[in-house]
Amino acid sequence: MAPTGTVPRPVVDLVARVTGDEKHDPSAHSTLDVVWVLYDQVLRVDAEHPDDPDRDRFLLSKGHGPASTYAVLAAKGFFPAEWLDDVASWASPLGHHPDRTLVPGIEIGSGSLGHGLPIAVGLALGLRDRSRARVVVLVGDAELDEGSNAEAIAVAGRFGLDNLTCVVVDNHSDDLGWPGGISARFAIEGWHAADVGNHDHAALAAALRRTAPDRPNVVVVDVAATGEPEVAA
What residue segments make up the domains of the chain, in order of their start?
Answer: 36-64+99-232
What is the predicted pLDDT for the residue at 175? 63
Q: In sequence order, what are the beta bridge partners of 72?
A: none
Distances (CA, A) of 102 to 19, 83, 97: 19, 12, 11
DSSP category for residue 39: I
Q: How many helices (H) and strands (E) does the chain have?
A: 8, 6
Decide: helix, strand or coil at residue 140.
strand
Angle between helices 116-127 and 147-159 (to 10 degrees): 20
What is the predicted pLDDT for the residue at 190? 97
HSE, side-chain direction, 13 A CA sphere, residue 135: 26
Q: What is the pTM of this model?
A: 0.91
What is the predicted pLDDT for the residue at 65? 81
Return per-residue pLDDT of the chain as tens, 233 residues: 334 578 999 999 999 999 876 766 777 788 999 999 999 999 999 999 999 999 999 999 988 889 999 999 999 999 999 999 999 889 999 999 999 999 999 999 988 788 999 999 999 999 999 999 999 999 999 888 889 999 999 999 999 999 999 999 998 876 666 778 899 999 999 999 999 998 899 999 999 999 999 999 999 999 875 444 444 43
Decide: helix, strand or coil at residue 220.
strand
Integer Cα distance of 140 and 61 in angstroms: 8
What is the predicted pLDDT for the residue at 229? 40
Integer Cα distance of 200 and 216 in angstroms: 22
Integer Cα distance of 193 and 217 in angstroms: 6
Q: Which CATH architecture has domain 36-64+99-232?
A: 3-Layer(aba) Sandwich (3.40)
- Alpha helices (H) along the chain: 9-16, 25-29, 32-37, 67-75, 116-127, 147-159, 182-187, 201-209
Of 137, 147, 128, 136, the closest CA to residue 214 belongs to: 128
DSSP category for residue 212: B
